[in-house]
């Protein structure tokens, strides 16, 4: 089955008379005793439907969480006390902040590396217990050599984890490259409509799946049934949304590169996220984000609507991200409308 067919068909009730086509929302804190679920923290049929669909897309078994960062925290908790975690220096800011917090409390050691420097990453793997990868990175849009770094992590006996939020399983399936775990902020492309916070972990390793499920049962970072329903409803059109966002992004990246107000365009050649560095600096970037009519000034990404922001407006964003970098989450609107809105605002900047 192709990815589009999987996105549409997986995780549905059986084709039987009077069954609904979609798994319903099941509000339940408890279930009649004697089954596998028993209690609302241990499982819910609506999460299970979402997990079936996402697992089928990534090629493993999925577990849903209350947010992407809850999934990140769950994965980082796999390593022993004082162990070393290697991560990209420019990866998602929330992940960097979690690592810094864990390090400050003596829970683990972190080594932040330029993820595009494969030799440096491979070298850093030597003393790692867990190698965190994100590719493309948020918001620098750096691409990692996943197969090489995953192999180096395994050589060192470390877990290899890939945050696949930007690429989605349609453009990249890290489990096929040997990754032990894939992490998602479901909040972004998978749900895709800027109305849900949810996360997920996917693995092809049954033992790891069991460990993670046990931790989720204990800690309780579970999604709501309504959220899981919305996420699955969003997932049904993932292939259409990603295809359109990617086509729009590629075209906008090309046109932005020719505009005099834009000093640099970063686009890895796939996906729906583009970053630009304004030639006239951070003030120009802030002006841009307030001059448009369609593009919404907002954080987050991966929704049907186009949004953008200057990332360094967040004090915690690392200084390795240019001050004038604006991350554009390209939506599924008509590309000519998106361009016209941007072009007018950019023309205004160059006066």
Ligand X SMILES: *Cc1c(COP(=O)(O)O)cnc(C)c1O
Could you list the active site residues? Answer: 41, 92, 163, 188
Binds ligand X by CB under 6 A, chosen from 46, 187, 225, 307:
187
Which residue's CB comes closest to ligand X? 68
CA 61 to each of CA 182, 240, 316: distance values in angstroms, whole numbers, following the listed order: 10, 23, 33
| 165 sits near ligand X (criterion: CB under 6 A) | yes
The residue (of 68 and 331) whose beta carbon lies closer to ligand X is 68
- The torsion of the CA quartet 137, 321, 92, 111, rounded to 10 degrees, works out to 90
| 65 sits near ligand X (criterion: CB under 6 A) | no
Report whether 84 contacts 201 (CB < 8 A). no
Sheet holding 181-185, edge to edge: 61-65, 199-203, 181-185, 159-163, 130-134, 84-88, 109-113
Measuring CA to CA, which residue among 192, 194, 309, 298 is closest to residue 244? 192
Residues 6 or more apart whose Cβ sits within 8 Å of residue 40: 28, 29, 30, 31, 222
Please report how close the Cβ of residue 87 comes to ligand X at its closest, in angstroms: 12
Please report how close the Cβ of residue 65 comes to ligand X at its closest, in angstroms: 9
Binds ligand X by CB under 6 A, chosen from 44, 46, 52, 67:
67
| 309 sits near ligand X (criterion: CB under 6 A) | no
Site mask for ligand X (CB under 6 A), range 69-88, x = bound: x-------------------
Please report how close the Cβ of residue 137 comes to ligand X at its closest, in angstroms: 8
Residues 6 or more apart whose Cβ sits within 8 Å of residue 85: 76, 79, 99, 108, 109, 110, 111, 128, 129, 130, 131, 132
| 96 sits near ligand X (criterion: CB under 6 A) | no
Please report how close the Cβ of residue 321 comes to ligand X at its closest, in angstroms: 14
| 199 sits near ligand X (criterion: CB under 6 A) | yes
Please report how close the Cβ of residue 57 comes to ligand X at its closest, in angstroms: 17
Q: Quickly tell me which residue has 């917090």 as its tokens.
A: 101
| 172 sits near ligand X (criterion: CB under 6 A) | no
**Cβ neighbours of 16 (radius 10 Å):** 6
Binds ligand X by CB under 6 A, chosen from 59, 94, 178, 263:
94
Stretch that binds ligand X, among 63-71, 151-159, 201-209, 241-249 (CB under 6 A): 63-71
The residue (of 152 and 197) whose beta carbon lies closer to ligand X is 197
Round to whole Å and give the CA distance between 272 and 182.
19
Measuring CA to CA, which residue among 153, 180, 142 is closest to residue 320? 142
Residue list 118-137, contact with ligand X (CB under 6 A): 134
**How long, in residues, is the chain?**
351
Binding residues for ligand X (CB under 6 A): 67-69, 92, 94, 134, 138, 163, 165, 185, 187-188, 197, 199
């Amino acid at each position: 089955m192709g990815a589009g067919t999987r996105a549409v068909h997986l995780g549905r009730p059986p084709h039987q008379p009077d069954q609904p086509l979609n798994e319903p929302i099941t509000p339940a804190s408890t279930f009649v005793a004697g089954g596998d679920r028993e209690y609302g923290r241990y499982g819910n049929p609506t999460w299970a439907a979402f997990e079936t669909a996402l697992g089928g897309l990534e090629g493993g078994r999925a577990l849903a969480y209350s947010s992407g960062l809850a999934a990140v925290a769950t994965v980082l908790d796999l390593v022993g006390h004082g162990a070393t975690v290697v991560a990209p220096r420019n990866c998602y800011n929330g992940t960097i902040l979690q690592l810094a917090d864990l390090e400050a409390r003596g829970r683990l050691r972190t080594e932040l590396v330029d993820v595009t420097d494969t030799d440096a990453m491979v070298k850093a793997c030597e003393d790692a217990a867990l190698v965190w990868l994100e590719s493309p990175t948020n918001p620098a849009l750096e691409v990692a050599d996943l197969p090489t770094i995953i192999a180096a992590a395994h050589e060192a006996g470390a877990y290899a984890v890939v945050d696949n939020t930007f690429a989605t399983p349609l453009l990249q399936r890290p489990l096929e490259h040997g990754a032990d775990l894939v992490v998602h902020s479901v909040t972004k492309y998978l749900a895709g409509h800027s109305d849900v916070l949810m996360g997920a972990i996917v693995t092809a390793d049954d033992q790891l799946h069991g460990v993670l499920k046990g931790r989720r049962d204990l800690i309780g970072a579970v999604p709501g049934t309504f959220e899981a329903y919305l996420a699955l409803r969003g997932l049904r059109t993932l292939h259409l949304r990603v295809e359109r966002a990617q086509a729009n992004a590629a075209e906008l990246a090309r046109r932005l590169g020719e505009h005099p107000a834009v000093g640099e365009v970063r686009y890895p050649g796939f996906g729906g996220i583009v970053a630009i560095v304004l030639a006239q600096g951070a003030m120009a970037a802030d002006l841009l984000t307030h001059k448009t009519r369609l593009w919404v000034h907002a954080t987050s990404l991966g929704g049907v609507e186009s949004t953008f922001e200057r990332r360094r407006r967040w004090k915690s964003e690392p200084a390795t991200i240019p001050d004038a970098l604006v991350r554009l989450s390209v939506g599924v609107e008509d590309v000519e409308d998106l361009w016209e809105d941007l072009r007018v605002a950019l023309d205004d900047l160059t006066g």
